[in-house]
């Protein structure tokens, strides 16, 4: 049985859940017309494997900026969601990841829905996050979980090794 628990001093090692490979097989192409966002998908001929670098999260830093939840299967941490306070009425979902062998089982959705009470208690009206356009699995996940596209940033990766990527801003209103 999966349990969602707020990360505290007793389980803070869960913050070190490693990143794992994921497939890049297409991208989401948003368009904004008549005050409405829509999108198309482009599927690549060849798929790639990508892995984000591991983070070294500190519970003190996370608690100073927001909070984190972990998903556990028995005593094993299998998922992590980190939320940060912002200046507006959307709390920022800074990181969301699930252990590879537990993906596609609803754990990421469970982490988000489990956080909603705490987020509302903090006075927020929703959640926002960012997904890279070429991480089609993540983009589909957010759209399938009620998030809406709220904007793009096609300049963040300029002058980097990831030049050409676009960040897509996703918003979930309560």
pLDDT of residue 19: 97
Q: Give the mean pLDDT of the chain.
A: 97
Q: How far apart are CA 57 and CA 128, in angstroms?
A: 20
- Statement: residue 162 has pLDDT above 90: no
Tens of pLDDT, residue by residue over 137-153, are: 999 999 999 999 999 99
- At residue 110, the pLDDT reads 98
Segments forming the whole domain that contains residue 167: 2-173
The pLDDT of residue 39 is 98
Which pTM was predicted?
A: 0.95
Segment holding 120, helix H or strand E: helix 107-121
Q: Is residue 77 a contact partner of residue 20, using CB atoms and an 8 Å limit?
A: no
Q: How far apart are CA 114 and CA 111, in angstroms?
A: 5
- Domain total of the chain: 1
The answer to whether residue 61 scores a pLDDT higher than 90 is yes
Q: What is the pLDDT of residue 161?
A: 87
At 152, which CATH number?
3.40.630.30
């Amino acid at each position: 049985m999966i349990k969602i628990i707020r990360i505290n001093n007793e389980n803070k090692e869960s913050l070190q859940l490693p990143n794992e490979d994921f497939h890049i097989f297409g991208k989401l192409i948003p368009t904004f017309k008549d005050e409405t966002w829509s999108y198309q998908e482009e599927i690549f001929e060849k798929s790639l494997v990508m892995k984000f670098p591991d983070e070294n999260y500190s519970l003190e830093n996370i608690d100073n900026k927001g909070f984190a939840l972990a998903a556990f299967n028995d005593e094993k941490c299998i998922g992590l969601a980190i939320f940060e306070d912002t200046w507006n009425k959307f709390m920022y979902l800074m990181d969301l990841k699930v252990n590879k062998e537990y993906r596609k089982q609803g754990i990421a959705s469970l982490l988000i829905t489990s956080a909603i009470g705490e987020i509302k208690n903090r006075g927020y009206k929703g959640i926002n996050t960012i997904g890279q356009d070429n991480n089609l699995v993540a983009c589909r996940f957010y759209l399938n979980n009620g998030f809406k596209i709220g904007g793009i940033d096609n300049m963040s990766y300029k002058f980097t090794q990831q030049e050409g990527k676009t960040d897509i801003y996703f918003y979930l209103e309560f």
